[in-house]
Amino acid sequence: MFEITEFSSIGLTVIVGAYLLGSISAAIVVCQLMGLEDPRKDGSGNPGATNVKRLYGNKPAALTLVGDMLKGVLPVVLAHYLGLSALEVILVGFAAFIGHLYPVFFGFKGGKGVATMLGVMFGLSLPIGLAVAGTWLFVAKVLKISSLSALVATALAPVYIYFLSGEMSWVWLTSVMTVILFWRHKSNIQRILSGEEDAIKKK
């Protein structure tokens, strides 16, 4: 399906760099800088924005969300800037996503990947990112379940990419990210099906 000639030494370097950047846990760094307890020690134990919000409130959660998104946005934008092939660009995003899930700096135990995947979508193109983010926000507004909104938005991401870019390497590797993300959310899916998943609470 993919040609080996599509890879370059610069591309491979950026892919490795994207994985290392993805391996920096925004949740852990933000909590350390703000003098807060490691989010892996309480709540769901997940180093992500949702657990940080549950434990410490909106400000550290917002910073975590932005940090996790930037891990996806920045390396993909750099890949575009360097003129890498379409396959290399999506592999850079995939590497950042995998780095977030399995960070080398934190014992390969990371978050669930929603914010970083969203960042990758914005890095691919603004319309794709807006479509995914808009779906996420709309479903969250209507159904009031954060995990379900994330699952619906990421499930539709390959569809948006197909119609907005037509780049099949992006479609296929985004589909792989979606499958991995669903697997990482298997406990959430079980709670959704049993009606036990927490709803988004209004302040």
Domains of the chain, by residue range, sit at 7-194
User: What CA–CA distance (Å, rounded) separates 117 from 8?
Assistant: 24
DSSP letter at 19 equals: H
Assess whether pLDDT exceeds 90 at residue 24: yes
- Is residue 200 very low, low, confident or very high in pLDDT (cuts 50, 70, 90)? low
∠ CA 152-174-28 to the nearest 5 degrees? 80
Q: Lowest mean pLDDT: which of 22-26, 31-35, 77-81, 196-200?
A: 196-200
Q: Which H/E stretch holds residue 73?
A: helix 58-81
pTM, to two decimals = 0.91
End-to-end Cα spacing for the chain: 49
User: What CA–CA distance (Å, rounded) separates 56 from 162?
Assistant: 38
> What's CA 94's distance to the chain center, in Å?
9
